[in-house]
Copies of this chain bind each other. A is one copy, B any other.
Amino acid sequence: MLFSTATGYALRALAALPEDGTYCLAKDLSSRLGLPGPYLAKILQGLVQADILASVRGPKGGFRLTRPAHRITVGEVVAAMEGPEAMEGCVMGFPSCNGENPCPLHDAWSAVKSQVSSSMTQATIRDLQLMDIRHKKEAKERVPNSPQP
């Protein structure tokens, strides 16, 4: 899936945070998204250190975005989660991917890398929020009223 599952969780959690500065509980997020609770908590803490989230402890505390959603790029989040060296190395797993001794997929892969990373610096958390909205709307249309027993 190209990135680690933790990165996916981070993106989903960020997209689920409210856009105003309200603080939001980790537990709340995890239950809303159906993600493993303590694991998500740890991920959120990491995002705090990357200055993507701000947190306050104690009652009334929680997590919130440090910036408006459209100012946080997907690339930034991926870098924070995966480290700066993500997407390095040869697609085929050959040792050392450099122009010197390219594997047959090297050119295609280089194009891919630049394409993905440019898309990632374009896309922001705001875009993910929109996606989520679409998701919910669609679900609502599909099942007009679904009682929760």
On A, residues with C-beta under 8 Å from B are 1-5, 7-9, 11-12, 74, 89-94, 100-105, 108-109, 111-112, 115-116, 119-120, 122-123, 127-128, 131, 134-135, 138
Contact = CB atoms under 8 A, between A and B. Distances in A.
Interface of A is mostly: helix
A93 B128 contact: no
B116 A91 contact: yes
A118 to B, nearest CB: 8
Contact of A92 (B11, B89, B90, B134): B11
Contact of A119 (B2, B7, B108, B116): B108
A8 B92 contact: yes
Contact of A112 (B8, B112, B138): B112
Given A2-B2, A115-B108, A7 B103 contact: no
> Which 6 residue pairs across A and B have the least CB separation, nearest first?
A8-B93, A104-B123, A108-B119, A104-B127, A112-B112, A2-B91
Nearest to A7: B93
A105 B3 contact: no
